[in-house]
C-alpha cells in the first residue's frame, strides 16, 4: 500500500464517526427559474472577469444545486480576493465538507485542507459564530493528528462554545467523551445535557443528538419525539443528519409503526447500516446500555 493510500485509510477510519452521510440522502432544494437563468448567464464568463458580487451569486447557486466542485472553485476565488469575508470562508469550508461526504477516495484528500482552513478562517473572522465553532470542533475531533486534528484543539472550541451557549458546549463534550471512550465523562455530560432546562439549542443537529440521548440513554420517548419534530421543522441542506434519519427514529419511537418503518427502509436501501455508520452516537449508547 502506497503512502497516499495509507493516509487516506487512516483518515477515513478516524473521520467516519463525524462524517456527513452521502449527499444523495439529503433533499435537493431546486433552483428557481430566475436563479437558473442568472447562473446560466454568468457561467459563460471567465471567473477572473466576474465581479465579486456575481462570483458570490454563482458560488451560492452551485452550493444550493449540490454542484459542490463548482461551488468550491468560486469560493476559492472569492477567498483569494477577500480572505476576510466570513461568508466566503464558511462557504469554502462547507463546499469542501460536502465533497468529502459519502464514499471516500484518494482524490478527496485534496479537500481536507479547504475544509479545515475554511472553517478556521471563518472562526477567526467571526469568533462568536456558534455554527463555525461547532464545525471546527467536529473537524479537530475527527481528523487524525497527522492531518491537523487533536483533542486539545477540539477542547479549545468547546471552551469558546461554552461562552456562547452552555448546552451546545455540553453536546460537544458528549462527543469528546464518546471519541475518547470515557464512559464516566459521557454519562456526566449526557445527564447535564438532558437536565439542562435553562439553555436552548441553536444548532439543528444538536436537536437530533439530544433526541438520541433522551431516547436511548434516558428512555424519554416524549422528549425525543419533540426534539425530532423540531429537527425536522428546522431541517436544511447543511445539517449533519438527513431528514430521513429523524423520520426513521420517529417511526421507531411511535407505536404500531411497522408499515412506516418498512416504507422508509424501502426508500433508502440499507438504511440501518447507514445509520450505524453515520449516527455513531446512537450506536455508542446502545452498545454501552447493552453491557
Sorted by where each begins, the domain ranges of the chain are: 1-164, 173-291
| pTM for this prediction | 0.91
Question: Residue 241: what are its φ and ψ, rounded to 5°?
Answer: -115, 135
> What would the grid cell of residue 284 be?
455508542
In whole angstroms, give the CA distance from residue 96 to residue 68. 7
- What is the 8-class DSSP label of residue 241? S
User: What's the CATH code, domain 1-164?
Assistant: 1.25.40.10
The pLDDT tens digits of the residues spanning 142-185 come to 888 888 889 999 999 999 999 999 999 999 999 999 999 999 99
> What would the grid cell of residue 228 be?
425530532
Question: What pLDDT is attached to residue 15?
Answer: 47
Placement of cell 431546486 in the chain: 30
Question: What pLDDT is attached to residue 285?
Answer: 95
- Domains 1-164 and 173-291 in one fold: yes
- CA R_g for the chain: 20
In whole angstroms, give the CA distance from residue 178 to residue 5. 27
Q: Which uninterrupted H or E stretch holds 61?
A: helix 52-64
Question: What pLDDT is attached to residue 14?
Answer: 42
Q: Say what percent of the chain tops pLDDT 90.
A: 78
Q: Say what percent of the chain tops pLDDT 70.
A: 91
The pLDDT tens digits of the residues spanning 68-85 come to 999 999 999 999 999 999
In whole angstroms, give the CA distance from residue 233 to residue 243. 10
Q: Determine the 3-state secondary structure of 175 from DSSP.
A: helix
196 contacts 214 by C-beta, under 8 angstroms: no
236 contacts 230 by C-beta, under 8 angstroms: no
In whole angstroms, give the CA distance from residue 131 to residue 284. 24
In whole angstroms, give the CA distance from residue 155 to residue 170. 11
Lowest mean pLDDT among 17-26, 196-205, 242-251: 17-26
The CA dihedral of 138, 7, 281, 100, to the nearest 10 degrees, is 60
Domain covering 173-291, topology: 1.25.40
> What would the grid cell of residue 122 be?
471563518
Amino acid at each position: 500500500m502506497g503512502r497516499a493510500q495509507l493516509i487516506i485509510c487512516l483518515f477515513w477510519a478516524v473521520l467516519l464517526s463525524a462524517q456527513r452521510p452521502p449527499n444523495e440522502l439529503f433533499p435537493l432544494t431546486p433552483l428557481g427559474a430566475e436563479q437558473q437563468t442568472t447562473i446560466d448567464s454568468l457561467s459563460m464568463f471567465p471567473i477572473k472577469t466576474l465581479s465579486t458580487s456575481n462570483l458570490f451569486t454563482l458560488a451560492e447557486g452551485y452550493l444550493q444545486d449540490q454542484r459542490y466542485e463548482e461551488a468550491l472553485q468560486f469560493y476559492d476565488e472569492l477567498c483569494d480576493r477577500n480572505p476576510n469575508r466570513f461568508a466566503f470562508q464558511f462557504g469554502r469550508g462547507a463546499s469542501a465538507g460536502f465533497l468529502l461526504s459519502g464514499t471516500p477516495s484518494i482524490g478527496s484528500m485534496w479537500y481536507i485542507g479547504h475544509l479545515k482552513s475554511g472553517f478556521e478562517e471563518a472562526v477567526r473572522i467571526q469568533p462568536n459564530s456558534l455554527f463555525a465553532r461547532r464545525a471546527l470542533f467536529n473537524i479537530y475531533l475527527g481528523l487524525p493528528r497527522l492531518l491537523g486534528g487533536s483533542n486539545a484543539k477540539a477542547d479549545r472550541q468547546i471552551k469558546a462554545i461554552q461562552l456562547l451557549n452552555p448546552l451546545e458546549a455540553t453536546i460537544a463534550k458528549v462527543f469528546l467523551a464518546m471519541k475518547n471512550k470515557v464512559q464516566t465523562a459521557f454519562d456526566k455530560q449526557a445527564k447535564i445535557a438532558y437536565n439542562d432546562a435553562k439553555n436552548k439549542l441553536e444548532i439543528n443537529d444538536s436537536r437530533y443528538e439530544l433526541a438520541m440521548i433522551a431516547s436511548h440513554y434516558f428512555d424519554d420517548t416524549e422528549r425525543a419525539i419533540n426534539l425530532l419534530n423540531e429537527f425536522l421543522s428546522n431541517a436544511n441542506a447543511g445539517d449533519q443528519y438527513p431528514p430521513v434519519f429523524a423520520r426513521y427514529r420517529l417511526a421507531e419511537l411511535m407505536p404500531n409503526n411497522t408499515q412506516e418503518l418498512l416504507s422508509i427502509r424501502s426508500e433508502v436501501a440499507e438504511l440501518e447500516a447507514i445509520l450505524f455508520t453515520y449516527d455513531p452516537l446512537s450506536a455508542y449508547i446502545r452498545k454501552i446500555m447493552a453491557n
